[in-house]
Amino acid sequence: MTDNSATAETANQADRPSVLFVCVHNAGRSQMAAGYLEHLAQGAIEVRSAGSEPADKINPSAVEAMLEEGIDIRDQKPKILTTQAVKDSDVVITMGCGDTCPIFPGKRYEDWKLEDPAGKGVDSVRPIRDEIRARIETLISELLPTR
């Protein structure tokens, strides 16, 4: 008898929708969005994030705000936006920062107009975080309507 669980798991992963979050520095908004989507979708959606000019590290106020939600993004590193990341994603969400992404047919593109948390304390980042969570919950309901 063969074990088909590995084959089924690979097939399930191939069927997962994928989302790419993009902002300039990949240190705040896009990282919070990726953290929420990973946490709330529980692996049912493939998650990527990137920036056109990645920072050296994640915004400490974003990290603190997410820790308050029980989501740890401290181990994340800002990454450069690549054409391949866009090609590999079903949904590309820019975070209100005017980034230009490569456009490919058949992709869903959205621009979320969100305040930039750069240089802000955690008290100012919480409302941004909360708006991101609400948008992520809507996105999950759209991408996984049977959940």
DSSP characters for the chain? ----HHHHHHHHHHHS-EEEEEESSSSSHHHHHHHHHHHHHTTSSEEEEEESS--SS--HHHHHHHHTTT---TT----B--HHHHHT-SEEEE-SS-------TT-EEEE------TT--HHHHHHHHHHHHHHHHHHHHHH-TT-
From the candidates 23, 58, 73, 95, give the one annotated as an active-site residue: 23
Check: CB of residue 66 under 8 Å from CB of residue 39.
no
Active site residue 101: yes
* Nearest residue to 35 via CA among 52, 59, 55, 56: 59
**Domains assigned to the chain:** 16-142 (3.40.50.2300)
Q: What is the pTM of this model?
A: 0.88
Check: CB of residue 75 under 8 Å from CB of residue 66.
no
| Per-residue tens of pLDDT for the chain, all 147 residues | 444 444 344 444 568 999 999 998 999 999 999 999 999 999 999 999 999 889 999 999 999 999 999 999 999 999 999 999 999 999 999 986 665 677 888 899 999 999 999 999 999 999 999 999 999 999 999 999 887
Check: CB of residue 27 under 8 Å from CB of residue 58.
yes
Active site residue 97: yes
Q: Look up residue 115 and give its two tokens.
A: 């305040």
Active site residue 71: no
From the candidates 24, 50, 95, 97, give the one annotated as an active-site residue: 97
From the candidates 41, 50, 92, 101, give the one annotated as an active-site residue: 101
